[in-house]
Structure 1
Amino acid sequence: MNDALRLGLIRASGAWRYRWVGVTVAWVVALLAAAGLHFFKDRYEASARVHVNTQTVLKPLMAQLAVQPDIDQQVRMLARTLISRPRIEQLIDSLDFAEKQDGPRVRERIVNDLVAAIKLEGSTSGNLYTISYRDRDPVRARRLVETLVNLFVESSAVSKRRDSERAREFIDEQIVENEKKLTEAESRLKDFKLKNFGMSGATNQDFFARMATTSDEVNRLRLELNAAEQARDALKRELSSEAPQLPAEALQARAPMAPSELETRLDAQRRILDDLLRRFTEVHPDVIAARRNIAQIERQRKEESDAARNGARGMAPTNPVFQQLRVSLAQAEAQVASLRSQLGVQQGRLDLVRSQASKMPQVEAELAQLNRDYDVIRRNYQQLVERRESASLGIKLDDSAQLADFRIIEPAMVAPKPVFPSRSVLALAAVVASIATGIAAAFGMTFVFPALFDEKQLQAVTDRPVIGSVSVVLDSAGQRAHRWQMFQFGGTAGLLILASVAWLGWVVVSSRI
């Protein structure tokens, strides 16, 4: 402990030897620090806090009715794009950060400095954003923060309205295009159905079932026609074996003459025609055949009437059996003609269905493709129309009420004290640093130019025994010179301290707002 104390005293004695070097260094450092601090200005921080409330009452109520973007994501994106070059350039022009005569390099440097100086921080627990900026001019710092807050609040509504309008315009364009496609698809489907009438709209199973039904109907009509022809031939044979006239005795004993055979056939054909008209139209083959038979019987009756009147022909048949056979034969002929006509119609239908059977799979495939394309286009068109209505409702909702509520928790304010490090702190640090640097310089000289101050130090350096020491005794002139040197050093050091304290006080007073 004694050795350490002795070594410290030796170092102090050596530093005292170079006291003028320390004072000179302290003065130089103090003057340089004062000159540097003269160009340093205090910076003041302006800040504001904005809270964005995205959990409004309208949001759950309009969940299924209107288009609602991700408000939280939009707010985060607005916060990220708030400090962008276009906005910073607007701030430079509006807040006089640059002069009009400044070149592009100066403006570029100012923009980069502002981008680095403006801070936008968001909290992790909610949509709470803090905007801060430091500047030498507190008024300009506050105005810049106020402008950023206003841009942040206003840009949300403008951006959301612009996005909604763009979405509606895009949907309108798509609706027009899909409407054209839908019209073209409907035209193609209509033309295809007209071209393949009777085949389109039916599956293979329905088509072949119809063909089987038509074939069964043809077979049934053939059987009925065969039976009707056999019955007609039998009536012809019976009619040929029956005498048309009765003997005179039978005519005298007979009751008053019955209606003629042609009248009976005419009444029968008319009843058949009435029955057919109740079931079919005027253009039906059976109706046409019945009218043709009626016209033929009326023509025969007219001829017989004319022949009887002129005496050109013999007497009409008087045998009632013969007359009844002729009536039955006329009915059989009419039935045969009707069945033959029906068979022809059904056979034509069957031939048409069979000719179309080979085309049915291709027609069905083409129809399925057309229907599929039409359904897809129609579904897309309906969805676009629904989304357009939803977008329109969303725009009206944006105009009537904001889905995000921007609340300024703390308006733009400037802290009364400058940010660390202030000029006062730097001035105090400069005073302490100048004194510490002078002391360090004096101690450093003892290592650069070492000296011996006692016997033990000399013995340690030379490794030889020391016999004795000689003290220095100053006379009166030497004592006066020593006191003068001490006065000069004390005055110089005191002046340094007084100047440093005065300068520090001036800096503190001038740094107040």
Structure 2
Amino acid sequence: MEDLIRQALGLLRGMWRFRWWGLALTWVVGALAAAAIYTMPDRYESTARVYVDTQSVLMPLMSGLAIQPNLDQQIAILSRTLITRPNVEKLIGMADLDLEVRSAAERERLIAELTRRLEVRAAGRDNLFTLAFQDGDPQRAQRVVQALLSLFVESGLVSKRQDTDAARRFIEEQIRNYEIKLTEAENRLKEFRLRNMALMDAGGLDYVGQLGGVRAQLEQARLELREAINSRDALQRQMQGEDPVLLPQTPNGSGVSIPEIDGRIDALRKNLDGLLQRYTESHPDVIGTRRVIEDLEAQKVSEIEARRQTGGGQFGSIHSNPVYQQLKLVLSETEARVASLQARVGEYEARLAQLRATAEQQPKLEAELAQLNRDYEVHKRNYESLVQRRESANISVQMDAQSGVAEFRVIDPPSLPIKPAAPNRVLLMIAAAFGALGAGVALTFLISQLRPTFADSRALREFTGIPVLGTVSLLGDPRRDARARRGRIAFAGGVAGYAGAVAVVAAMLNMLQG
């Protein structure tokens, strides 16, 4: 520590020897700095304050119905991205700054200068912004701030409108895409249902239910068939105890009839008429009834021919035996019912066989139907959600048009500055004074290093590495001491004069600036 102090004292002694050089440089630099500061051009600052009101009465009322973006965040982003090259180019035209531009290079310099000097400052947390610009011409500064204010308001409205339009176009495009997808899914589902209509009921694919229903219908038809067969057999046994009465044949065989066969044919035809009112020609009951009628008519012709060949000349008349006639009618109806039930049983057996044959296809069909339904539901849900969002966007646009969700309010219009806002000559003068003083100290240090001296024998020995045998002391001289004292007083006067000059210049600059 003692060595450091000794070295510092030695360095100060060396610098003290060249103190006049440092003081001279301080005065020169200070004077030049004062002249430069005085000749600096004045810059006038025009400011404006604008408030963006994002609180609307309709916003809480339309909660859940309309899209409500984060307006505070959008305004904050707008304030930070307002000063861009396209906006600066618009501002040049709005403020008539392009009248002074003569070339492309000057225009580029003007754009760079405006980009650097334009300011948008947030004044607090309540969407209050200050727009500022400094220029040598106060009126031009005011025009630039006015143009910047107009650009700020227009950019906010246009940006919000562009965002809304872009969102609506995107939603409309997505709705059209999902309409196509939804139509394709509906067509695939329709084609699947048409292709597998035989294996599907009204509610969808239900193989087990259809199989159980057909089996139950088959059992019921078989039961009814057995009942009809038993009834027919009982009638036939009962008819074996009844004999028809023979009646004479009509002349020339005209009008020949076999009452029991004719009665059965009439009963079957009545039954056929009833079936045709309910079914088509291809229904199994209709086909079976027609076949029985044809068989009875053929049987009638055969019976007539057989009786004629036997020469009986007589034909049985059912009118002579009412019981026999009634039994024949009931028997014909029973046989028709048996034929109809047989056809029904055959149809149900065929259906049951077809369902059993397609049993292996059921898991595949069920999986395919589930996939089709899932795709359809996904597209339908997305489509409905997009339609709902489109309606919300439309309501938001109408709400913005009616009430103006974000309202720009100019608190302070662009001011016309009277006093220059820059440069701050007093502050610059003080800084320049300290800078000049530092330059003088640096000069004395540089010269002391270029022309070093040694204050004692120890420093000389350490610097040269040669032993010092002795030193010669300097005897005191009153005249030299007086001259040294006058020199110190003169140097102190020079420093004090410099400080006083700095104070006077600062005061003068303050008066000129005020």
Q: Secondary structure of the equivalent of 1:41? A: coil
| Deviating more after overlay: 281-290 vs 60-69 | 281-290
Which runs of no fewer than 5 residues in structure 1 stay unpaired? 1-14, 249-258, 451-460, 472-489
CA separation in 1, counterparts of 2:315 and 2:270? 28
Q: Alpha-carbon deviations, 1:288-308, whole Å to 9, x = none?
A: 434554566567678888999
Work out whether 1:222 is the aligned partner of 2:217: no
1:331 equivalent among 325, 330, 333: 333
Counterpart check, 1:210 vs 2:236: no
Indicate the residue corresponding to 1:177 in structure 2: 177
In structure 2, the CA distance between the partners of 1:201 and 1:268, relative to structure 1 (3 Å rule), is: closer
2: distance between equivalents of 1:213 and 1:85? 79
8 Å Cα contact 2:119/2:131 also seen in 1: yes
One-letter amino acid of the counterpart of residue 260, structure 2: E
Distance in 2 between residues matched to 1:204 and 1:27, nearest whole Å: 104
SS of structure 2 residue aligned to 1:412: coil
1:314 aligns with 2:314: yes
**Given the superposition, is the C-alpha separation of residues 323 and 121 from structure 1 closer, same or farther in structure 2, using an over 3 Å criterion?**
same
- What pairs up with 1:443-462 in 2 under 5 angstroms? none
TM-score when scaled to structure 1?
Answer: 0.70
2:57 — aligned with what? 57
Residues 1:146 and 1:190: Cα distance change in structure 2 (over 3 Å): same
Offset from partner CA, 1:350-388 (integer Å, 9 cap, x none): 122222222122111111111111121122222222222
* Separation (CA, whole Å) in 1 of partners of 2:202 and 2:271: 37
Q: Give CA deviations for 1:435-490 in whole Å, capped at 9, x if unaligned.
A: 9999xx99xx9xx9x9xxxxxxxxxx997887x9689xxxxxxxxxxxxxxxxxx9
Deviation at 1:51, TM superposition (A): 0.9
| Equivalence map 1:162-201=2 (5 Å) | 162-200=162-200
Partner AA of 2:42 in structure 1: D
CA contact (8 A) 1:273 1:291 kept: yes
Counterpart Cα distance in 2 of 1:91 and 1:134: 15
Amino acid paired to 2:373: N
Quote how far apart the aligned CAs of 1:49 are: 1.3
Q: 1:502 to 1:384 in 2, by over 3 A?
A: closer
Distance in 1, matches of 2:167 and 2:127, equals 26
Change (3 A) 1:366 1:110: same
1:116 offset after TM fit, Å?
3.6
Per the TM alignment, residue 24 of structure 1 is displaced from its structure 2 partner at its CA by: 6.8
Look up the match of 1:405.
Answer: 407
Question: Quick one: which of 385, 389, 392 aligns to 1:383?
Answer: 385
1:79-158 matches, cutoff 5 A: 79-92=79-92, 94-96=95-97, 100-102=101-103, 104=105, 110-158=110-158
Deviates more, 1:219-228 or 1:366-375: 219-228
Q: Deviations over 1:91-127 (max 9, x none)?
A: 45645389544554x6555544443433322144311
- 8 Å contact kept, 1:118–1:133: yes
Partner of 1:73: 73
Alpha-carbon distance between aligned partners in 2 of 1:109 and 1:326, rounded to the nearest angstrom: 122
- 1:76 is displaced (CA, Å) by 0.9
Question: 1 CA distance for matches of 2:352 and 2:431?
Answer: 115
- Is contact 2:246-2:315 (8 Å) kept? no
**Structure 2 counterpart of 1:285:** 284
Stretch deviating more after TM superposition (315-324 or 69-78): 315-324
Q: Which amino acid aligns with 2:97?
A: D
> One-letter code of the match for 1:96?
L
Sort the Cα spacing of 1:323 and 1:384 in 2 relative to 1 into closer, same or farther, 3 A. Answer: same
Identity %: 42
Distance 1:138 1:428, change over 3 A: farther
- Structure 1 CA distance for aligned equivalents of residues 513 and 98 of structure 2: 22
**How many residues get paired?**
453
**Contact 2:247-2:316 at 8 Å conserved across structures:** no
Partner of 1:152: helix, strand, or coil?
helix
Matched-pair contact (CA < 8 Å) for 2:285–2:344: yes
Deviation, 1:75, is: 0.5
Alignment of 1:448-487 (within 5 A): none
Report deviation, 1:66. Answer: 2.7
Is the Cα contact below 8 Å between 1:199 and 1:363 reproduced in 2? no
Structure 2: gaps spanning 5 or more residues: 1-15, 249-257, 454-470, 481-492
Contact 2:247 2:314 in 1 (8 A): no
Quote the residue 1:418 is aligned against. 420
Contact 2:122 2:130 in 1 (8 A): yes
**Other structure's SS at 1:359 match:** helix
Cα gap change, 1:313 to 1:215, in 2 (>3 Å): farther
| Per-residue deviation, 1:323 | 4.5
Distance between the aligned counterparts of 1:101 and 1:305, measured in 2? 130
Q: Aligned partners of 2:79 and 2:191: how far apart in 1?
A: 57
Q: Is the 8 A contact 1:52 1:127 kept in 2?
A: yes
Closer/same/farther in 2, CA of residues 293 and 110 from structure 1, 3 Å limit = same
Name the SS for the 2:413 alignment partner: strand
Q: Is the Cα–Cα contact under 8 Å of residues 289 and 336 in structure 2 kept in the other structure?
A: yes
1:424–1:504 CA contact under 8 A, matched in 2: yes
Counterpart of 1:480 in structure 2 is none
Distance 2:409 2:437 in 1: 52
1:214 CA displacement: 1.4
Trace 1:228-307 onto structure 2 (pairs within 5 A): 228-233=228-233, 235-236=235-236, 239=239, 243-245=243-245, 260-266=259-265, 268-269=267-268, 272-273=271-272, 276=275, 283-294=282-293
Alpha-carbon separation, structure 2, partners of 1:262 and 1:22: 154
Native 8 Å contact 1:217 1:346 kept in 2: yes
- Greater CA drift, 42-51 or 401-410: 42-51
Report the counterpart of residue 458 of structure 2 in structure 1. Answer: none
What secondary structure sits across from 1:413 in the alignment? coil
Q: How does 1:346-365 map to 2 (within 5 A)?
A: 346-365=348-367
SS of corresponding position for 2:68: coil
Question: Secondary structure of the residue that 2:414 maps to in structure 1?
Answer: strand
Bigger Cα displacement from structure 2, 196-205 vs 368-377: 196-205
Secondary structure at the counterpart of residue 47 of structure 1: strand
Give the Å deviation of 1:78. Answer: 0.7
TM-aligned CA deviation for residue 314 of structure 1: 2.4
Q: How far apart, in 2, do the equivalents of 1:152 and 1:109 lie?
A: 23
CA contact (8 A) 1:246 1:319 kept: no
Distance in 2 between residues matched to 1:19 and 1:332, nearest whole Å: 148
Q: Does 1:393 align with 2:395?
A: yes
Q: Is the 1:98–1:107 contact (alpha carbons within 8 Å) kept by the matching residues of 2?
A: no
CA distance in 1, matches of 2:405, 2:100: 41
Equivalent pair of 2:425/2:506 in contact (CA under 8 Å): no
Q: Cα 1:24–1:302, aligned 2, differ >3 Å: closer, same or farther?
A: closer
Structure-2-length-normalised TM-score: 0.70
Residue 186 of structure 2 aligns with an amino acid whose one-letter code is E
